[in-house]
A and B are shown apart, each in its own frame.
Chain A
C-alpha cells in the first residue's frame, strides 16, 4: 500500500517563528505532490503543487520542496502568523493512478 505520512501530527508555535512540516511517501514513482490547507468546517485550499520533475515551489511565505529519492517533501512556513493556524495536508499522485493519496495532516496552532 502506498502510504503518505505526515509528522508531526500537531504543532504549536509562537507567532513569528519559521517552521517546517514534513511529508513522507513510500513509493518514489510519484506524478506530483500537492500541499493543502484545511480550516475547520471548510474545504481544502490548494497551497502548492510540485511536479515530479521539480525540486521546489514557492508562494509568498510558503516554500515546498520535493526529494523523490528519499521519499520526502517539506513545507516551510516563514514568519508564522495566527492566521496560519489550520490543518495542513500533503497529497501524492502516483504514476499508477489518478487519486490523491493523502496523509493524515499536521494540525498547526500559531499563538499570538
Chain B
C-alpha cells in the first residue's frame, strides 16, 4: 500500500530534550516536506526537500532541522524543543515538487512541557 509513515504518533517531552520524528514513504517520491498545524494558524511548511541531499527552509524553520540521506526518509529533528513547538506535525511527499498530488502521513502530536 502506498503510504507516508510517521513515528511516533504521539509524543510528550520536556523542554530541551532532543527528539526526532521519523518519516518514510514507499512511493519513490522525489519531493518531501514537513508541516505543522496549529489552531487558528492552519498548516505551515517547516522544511522541504527536492531530492536526496537537497533541503531548504519553509515558512517556519526556526528550531528545526532535517536531513535527506536517502530518498524514502526525511526525519524532522528538534535539537532543543520548547513549549511553542507543541503542535501537530505532518510529513508529506509527492512525485515532484508542485506539479503532482501530495500525500500526507497520519500526523505526530507533539507536546513539549
With A98-B97, A100-B43 known, 9 other A-B pairs at CB within 8 A are A42-B106, A43-B107, A44-B92, A46-B101, A49-B100, A49-B101, A98-B50, A98-B98, A100-B45
A residues with a Cβ closer than 8 A to B are: 31-32, 34, 36, 41-46, 49, 51, 89, 91, 93, 98-100, 102-105
Q: Does B59 contact A (CB under 8 A)?
A: yes
Q: Does B42 lie within 8 Å of A105, measured CB to CB?
A: yes
25 A-B pairs in the complex with CB atoms less than 8 angstroms apart: A32-B98, A34-B102, A36-B104, A42-B107, A43-B4, A43-B104, A43-B107, A44-B90, A44-B92, A44-B104, A46-B104, A91-B43, A91-B102, A93-B98, A98-B33, A98-B48, A98-B50, A98-B98, A99-B45, A99-B58, A99-B59, A100-B43, A103-B42, A104-B40, A104-B42
B residues with a Cβ closer than 8 A to A are: 4, 31, 33, 35, 40, 42-45, 48, 50, 58-59, 90, 92, 97-107
Q: Does B43 lie within 8 Å of A34, measured CB to CB?
A: no
